Amino acid sequence: MENRQSNSGYILNTSANLVGLCFIALTSLKLFKLPVESFIDDITAGALVTFMASCLLSFLSLRSRSTRSAKYELIADYAFFAGLILIFTMTLLVTYNVIE
């Protein structure tokens, strides 16, 4: 379990950075005014919420001294991966709409 505990700091740092990226992406989408803007906005907002959950859970994992720490980190890891999938989807949709 010691290996898992050491990953919480990385998850927290990267998730926090990606929350900022999602805010920048939402702002940029408003400037581009893409035809499917609301759908891409929804995906980006979902990624933002997912990364925020990952931040919160990884922070709780770092602060917890009980057996819950590993559970928090595992859920944070899955939330982080889900956020990455949402960001990937958003990037594909924005790229496809910009190219057209």
pTM for this prediction:
0.84
Written as one string, the DSSP assignment of 6-22 is HHHHHHHHHHHHHHHHH
**Confidence (pLDDT) at 5:** 45
pLDDT confidence bin for 49, thresholds 50/70/90? very high
| 4: pLDDT strictly greater than 50 | no
Distance CA 37, CA 41 (A): 6
| 69: pLDDT strictly greater than 50 | yes
Nearest to 72 by CA among 85, 59, 91: 59
Distance CA 28, CA 84 (A): 19
Q: Which domain holds residue 91?
A: 2-99
* Domains of the chain: total: 1
